[in-house]
Amino acid sequence: MRISIIGKIIEMINGYEISKEWTQSHHTHLWCQILKKAKPKCIIGIQPDEFLCRAGKLQKIPVYDLQHGVIADEHLWYGEVYRMGTPIEKLPDGFLCWDDQSVATLSKWASNKGIRVLKIGNPWFLRFAYVQPEDLLVSEALANCNVIDDNRPCILVSLQWAMATFYPDKEFNGVMIDALEKVILDTSELYNWVIRLHPVQMSGDERDMVLNFLQTTFGTEMTRRSIMASEIPLPILIRKTDLHITHHSTVVVEAAWGGVRSGLLSEQFGPGGEYQTMFSYERSLGIAELIPQNPECIKQWITDTLAKGRGQSTLKDYSQNLDAFIDEIAGRKA
């Protein structure tokens, strides 16, 4: 906070460029102080900022970016067009990826900069896919997931935050497109709809807005189940899901690991759209499809896709790679 305030004062007196240089230097120095006290062998973060990356290099401590969502050419953080000109000192020393597709995207530019791109799988998902008897967290989670037990086909809807930015020029409820809302209301007796909030919506500024929408639109019981479903580990939820529908969530990838088919509602996945190549692997397998934003089209997709049953799981076991990485880090000298 002190750095930010002083940086603003310097900007008013000496201009933006001098303020930027001063702020960057002091943010890096702050991270260096933290690392000197913590003495880590390795730093693993989600999109670690440039100051942490700079500090890690100064302290000779490797910094890794752990994949937390989709990695694609269109992503501002990971795409080649956005990162080719980024100086190496602002970037992590390596990326820890889920799959071949993510590795291929990053390797287009990261390898030329000497940045490691490692495939370790998704440690959280693997933990539930290959349950160890001594893993009490997983055992407890498996014993407390009956909120979605139902005889009807279960359809998971994964929400995204900041949805209003995708529809700024029309009346929009801020949570989901009207066509999906209508389908859920029309088919509430046929299907067990499970709405999962994005983690940002569970604790951020949108929480009250989203819960008010669910309460007003779908009632108290579905709102209660939505909160509970949002707290259940995603791997368990997918295990109990028959279909998945989303605007553009990365859950498409995780659903495919469980053989669950996904319907994509964002028009940006279409030809010429911003996301036209995103989820290309899942779409090439037919386990993810673009659905028109039309209630009847969505209903027909549900009927047709339920009839197909689950697809083949795309999950691959990279736990040996993960173990090797941990062994490598554990063997580093402090």
Q: Are both 256 and 208 inside the same structural domain? A: yes
Q: How confident is the model at residue 213 (pLDDT cuts 50, 70, 90)?
A: very high
Residue type, 134: E
**Digit-coded pLDDT (tens) for 27-42:** 999 999 999 999 999 9
Q: Which two tokens stand for residue 159?
A: 């929400």
Q: Which two tokens stand for residue 90?
A: 């602002």
Tell me the average pLDDT of the chain: 93
Q: Are both 193 and 263 inside the same structural domain? A: yes
**Gyration radius of the chain's alpha carbons:** 22
What total number of domains does the chain contain?
3
Decide if pLDDT at 147 tops 70. Answer: no
Q: Are both 164 and 100 inside the same structural domain? A: no
**Digit-coded pLDDT (tens) for 241-250:** 999 999 999 9
Q: How confident is the model at residue 333 (pLDDT cuts 50, 70, 90)?
A: low
Q: Are both 159 and 227 inside the same structural domain? A: yes
Q: Are both 96 and 169 inside the same structural domain? A: no
Decide if pLDDT at 297 tops 70. Answer: yes
Domain hosting 4: range is 1-35
Distance of CA 275 to the CA centre of its chain: 15
Q: Are both 146 and 253 inside the same structural domain? A: yes
Report the C-alpha gap between 265 and 226 in whole angstroms: 20
